[in-house]
Every structure is written in structure tokens, then in C-alpha cells.
Structure 1
Amino acid sequence: MPPSRIVCLTEEPTETLYALGEQDRIVGISGFTVRPTAARRDKPKVSAFTSAKIDAILALKPDFAIGFSDIQADIAAELVRRGVEVWIANHRSVAEIIDYIRRLGAMVGAAQRANDYADSLQRRLDAIADDSARLQRRPRVYFEEWDEPPITGIRWVAELVRIAGGDDIFPERALEPLAKQRILEDSDEVIRRAPDIILGSWCGKRFRPERVAARPGWDAIPAVRDGELHEVKSPIILQPGPAALTDGVDAIARIVRAWATSPLRV
């Protein structure tokens, strides 16, 4: 039997289950959940990224818990010790996000709906990629997901930048799965790689472009010189689920398209 009482320890399973019409299975969610708004309004909040209210989760009598990555390994271990079945997904690329949606749907008995939904998301991404391929120029893009210390973008973000018509300036770092492996030991490397656009998505706090522009030597960067510093809200890009493949990539595509079609860039 598919699980009927699910605790979602991060946002992406919540958004996916709502998209599949399986939201009644959810009995608890992450406190960081903002999508969909109905989930934040209706469901008990029982976890954060690195911590959880274990007793509160157990009181909900879940038969399944869903989390993400090494960040939640300790939460998962404690729930397993307390008798809860746990799935910790570890998807890091666009293709893996699509596959995650298919697998989650199959787990709750909604395989066909999940496959249809995943297919629609893939078609949407393909259409954006086709549009961006017609742009006359591709900007170099620096994506920063934290500022102190600077941390570069994860793999699915770099791939979405490419789909949207840009080129991530740290493609080698994007392949590193852990945030600590994407810390910029020397932020002057951004100066040397000279991005045309800087995208900021500081998880949990507002991006401050003026602080980025004021970093020593960064006035030489084309993006700073031309005022091309933009925030992409973390809820729509830093969770590996439907948000990144819809609103997240849309936001990046709008910024890239505006840069590529500006008279100042011709």
C-alpha cells in the first residue's frame, strides 16, 4: 500500500505531492516551505533543514518521511531509530529532479500522473532552451548561493542557467554535490572570469547587490560595471523540485533575455 501519512522534511516533496493532487497524504512539512501557500497555511511545520521536532513528527504517526541529502542525515537516522520509514533523495541535476518527480509519484500510487507532469516540465524546459538558442549573445553568469563565505551555484542551477541562455562561470564547481566544496577560497577568481551577469540567491536572507558591488576589485567585473546584479529568490531556485523548473528558470531566462537584447550589448 502507498504511504498515507507523509512528513516532508523539505519543500520539494510537498510541492510535488500538491501538484499531483496527493496533498491529503501530507501530515507535516518543513518550516521553510513557502510553496504552495496552501501547504504553509494548512500543514503542521515540524522540521528545518538541519533539525526537526522529532517528538512532534512521531505524534503525527507518519508511515513515511521524505528528506534531501546529507544535510538531513541526522534527522533521518533518528527517525529510522524511532521506527519511521525514511527516503532521503539526493538529486542534484535537472534530469535527476525530473526523475525524482517520477519516483515520488510511483511511491504514492500516482505513477501516470507523475510521468505526465514530469513530461510537461521537460517540454517546458525544452521550449525555453529553444528560445534561448536564438539569442545573439550568451552572457557569462556568476551565481552565488551564499555570501560569507561565497558559495557558487549547485549543478541544477548551472544547468538551468545554460537552458536559459547563459553560461555558468564555475561549471567545474557546479559538479560538486556539497556546499562546502563550492566555497570560493579566492573571490578574485570571479574578477578573473569576468561575468556579464551576477545572480544572487542567499538562502534565507535578502540578496544585497550593493554589498557585492563594493567587494574589493569587483568594480572591474562587467556585471558590476553595467549594473547587472539580480536576485533570484531562494524558494524558487535552491530547492530541487518543481519551483526551480518553472519560476526559477523563468526568472533567469528573463534576466538573460534582457541582457542579450539590450541595445547596450549589441
Structure 2
Amino acid sequence: MSAPRVVSLAPSATATVAALGGADRLVGVTAHCDLADEPNAGSAHGEESPTVVGGWLNPDLDQVAELDPHVVLTSDALQSDLADACREHGLDVAHREPATLDDAVDGFAARGRDVGRPEAGERLAADARGRLDRVADAVADRPRPTVYCEEWSDPPMAAGNWVPDAVCAAGGRYPFVDAGERSREVDPAAVERADPDRVVVHVCGHGDRVDPATVGERDWVDAPVHVIDDSLLNQPSPALLEGVERLARLFHPDAFSVADADDRT
């Protein structure tokens, strides 16, 4: 059986398929998907690269249908209506809505099944759990700093979904949004009362191109401000594991200095 033709309308799904070694199955992606490091994407179907079919919320579904995909990948509640519209076009859709860190990791295996690489999906999920276990061991029994994570700055929004889990997995406390809840506008007074030890800024769509002073100069912020590439925290893709590891080293640098030294001996 030939490899399935896949159209990914979600950047997180595209990144996950690439991590599964399935980038060559992608015949269509959105303008927001990043395959710069996957030069062979689309080559299994005789294409130099996948066709860009529009934005992640407003793709051209007629163009998607013309690509004759076996499956269209969508993700997040914001794409649920889009998933329905794809089905109305007669397209088979694999829609996933991860809300927590566990959901995101389980989703790696699910995406493997979606694109005909189930074993690769299971391996990717197992690797992710192993990485989380290693972080947990490194930060165990250490004081947990209180952390405020900002996903959007106008208005300021405290990050939700899997970010509270990511902070906890990295050895921090996150009293602003419960894991699995959507990101929401934050009350500055609530941040002041929580008195965070660290502020992490990962503005959606801005990468790491945010001046930390724009947050640090607020009269309700009194903590070091760290800017992290938003792709490491805002996407339920394998990049999220790098995000957890980055946070853990930020919160507990001594723990990883010791661990890294042990690895070298």
C-alpha cells in the first residue's frame, strides 16, 4: 500500500508528523506550518514540497480537496468548525483537541495512527514520557518557584491548556490557570498577590521576538522576565518537551549542572 497523502491544517500536527518521520507524506500544509528543516517533505508523492493551502483558520478547502488527501489533520477547539467544513467537502478528518500535557503526549501516538506510522507514534510518545521522567527526577524535592506565563500581552493573558502542566513538570508552581483550561485575561492584582518568582513570556506568533522590558516595566510585575520562543510552549507538538526542559533549567539551573556533570562521568 502506498503512503497516505496527508494535508495538515494545524502547525502542531505538521511538526508532529515531521517528528514521526512522515514529512514525505504531507501534500498540503498551511502558511503557518514550518517545514524548513524537512527538505524531503512531499517527495514520496513526487512533489518538491507540500502545497500551501492558506492560513490555519482560513484554508482554501477546494484546494485541499484537489490534493486528494487520504486524511486531513486539524487540532484545537478553534479548528473544530473547520474540521466540520472539511467533512462537508467529503474529506476524511482526524481532529484532535489536546488540553493537557498528558493529552499532548498521547496525541503523538494518535498522530502516528492518523498518518499510517503507528509504531513511530508509540516511540515518540514513549520518548516524550522518558524525557518528562528525567526532568521530574532532576527537580524532585527542590523548592518550587511561583511562575507567571503570559501567552498574549494586549491584553495580558495567562497561559492555560498544557502550560500549567509544563510549569509543574519543570518544577514550578502555577496558580493562575488550571491545567486544561483555556488561556484567559489576567487580573494584574492577582499576579501581584501571587508574587511570582519568574515571569515567562511566550507571545503567540511572535517566536522569541518580544522585548522583556515591555512586561518587566509594568507596575504589577516584580520578578525576572524571560522570553521563550512561543513554539516551545504554545504548540502541543514534540517541541513542548524542549519547552519543559527549557523551563526546568531556568527554574533549577543547579539541578541540571549536577545532572550534566554526572552524564559526562
Q: Same fold (TM over 0.5)?
A: yes
Q: In the alignment, what sits opposite 2:226? A: 230
| Distance in 1, Cα, partners of 2:255 & 2:245 | 15
Q: In the alignment, what sits opposite 1:264? A: none
| Distance in 1, Cα, partners of 2:121 & 2:36 | 17
Q: In the alignment, what sits opposite 1:197? A: 198
Q: 1:12 aligned to 2:17?
A: no
For 1:116-195, list aligned pairs within 5 A: 116-135=123-142, 137-172=143-178, 174-176=179-181, 178-179=182-183, 182-184=184-186, 186-195=187-196
| Residue 171 (structure 1) shift | 4.0
| Distance in 2, Cα, partners of 1:43 & 1:25 | 9
User: Cα distance 1:201–1:6, how it changes in 2: closer, same or farther (>3 A)?
Assistant: same
Q: In the alignment, what sits opposite 2:212? A: 209
| Distance in 2, Cα, partners of 1:45 & 1:37 | 16
Q: In the alignment, what sits opposite 1:106? A: 113
| Distance in 2, Cα, partners of 1:104 & 1:191 | 40
| Distance in 1, Cα, partners of 2:21 & 2:217 | 47
| Distance in 1, Cα, partners of 2:151 & 2:27 | 30
| Residue 256 (structure 1) shift | 0.8
| Residue 244 (structure 1) shift | 0.3
Aligned residues: 248
Q: In the alignment, what sits opposite 1:84? A: 91
| Distance in 2, Cα, partners of 1:217 & 1:15 | 36
Greater displacement, 115-124 / 2-11: 2-11
| Distance in 2, Cα, partners of 1:94 & 1:248 | 11
| Residue 158 (structure 1) shift | 1.1
User: Cα distance 1:241–1:190, how it changes in 2: closer, same or farther (>3 A)?
Assistant: same
Greater helix share, structure number: 1
1:37 is paired with a residue whose SS is coil
| Residue 169 (structure 1) shift | 2.6
Contact 1:236 1:248 (8 Å CA) reproduced: yes
Instruction: Give the AA of the match of 1:255.
Output: L
Contact 2:204 2:230 (8 Å CA) reproduced: yes
Contact 2:4 2:116 (8 Å CA) reproduced: no
The TM-score normalised by the length of structure 1 is: 0.84
Identity %: 30
Contact 1:64 1:86 (8 Å CA) reproduced: yes
2:95 is paired with a residue whose SS is strand
| Distance in 2, Cα, partners of 1:143 & 1:193 | 13
1:169 is paired with a residue whose SS is coil
Q: In the alignment, what sits opposite 2:253? A: 258
| Distance in 2, Cα, partners of 1:89 & 1:254 | 30
Give the unaligned 5+ runs of structure 2: 42-47, 257-265
| Distance in 1, Cα, partners of 2:72 & 2:189 | 42
| Distance in 1, Cα, partners of 2:246 & 2:220 | 28
| RMSD after superposition | 2.5
For 1:19-30, list aligned pairs within 5 A: 19-30=19-30
